[in-house]
Amino acid sequence: MSAPSGSSRSLIVAIVALVVALAAGGVAVWALLKEPAEQPEQPNSVFTGTTTEDPKASICDAFNIVRTGIQINTNLQPPGGPEDITGSLAVAGNARVALYDGGQYLLARLQPDTPPELAEAVREFANHLMDIGARSTAGIPNTDPDQAARLSEADAANTKITNLCK
């Protein structure tokens, strides 16, 4: 019995490759033409925490944690002073993380049954924080007119939430 020659091996590989390609093409066409499965309607929420009996107190606690983190991290000074470039970059990075992640944390902790006025204020504040953080990461300074407006809007939302959480 002789071993298959190189050209017959190549023919077998080509046939197998053709069969696999046709099968993949068939699956792709089926996926494009298939009706999507009916999904149950879900509320527009990213809540990932544990529900509590007092959603107002829960989101107010989360707000205070975020506000404290932002206060601390946006007011840090580089350990080596203004000439400490690495320290300055680290401090700026921590401030951006506090802003962006603070916004995400608030949205993730906002329970569906939070009082509507408070929930809307928290969403507004959280989105402002993420917008400010993302634009800061892109190098947009606080002196930029649009960034200054975002900071002012975030401050107004902060004041509103502070009053609603009393």
Could you tell me the pTM of the whole model?
0.69
Contact 75, 98 (CB under 8 A): no
7 pLDDT exceeds 80?
no
Cα torsion at 140, 143, 148, 152 (round to 10°)? 130
pLDDT digits (tens, 9 = 90+) for 53-98: 899 999 999 999 999 999 999 999 998 888 999 999 999 999 999 9
Whole-angstrom Cα distance, residue 84 to residue 109? 37
Least confident piece of the model among 39-43, 95-99, 153-157:
39-43
Query: What single-letter DSSP state applies at residue 139?
Result: T
**Per-residue b or e along 81-111, where b marks 16 or more CB atoms closer than 10 Å to that residue's CB:** eeeeeebbeebbeebbebbbbbbbbbbebbb
User: Does 46 have pLDDT greater than 60?
Assistant: yes
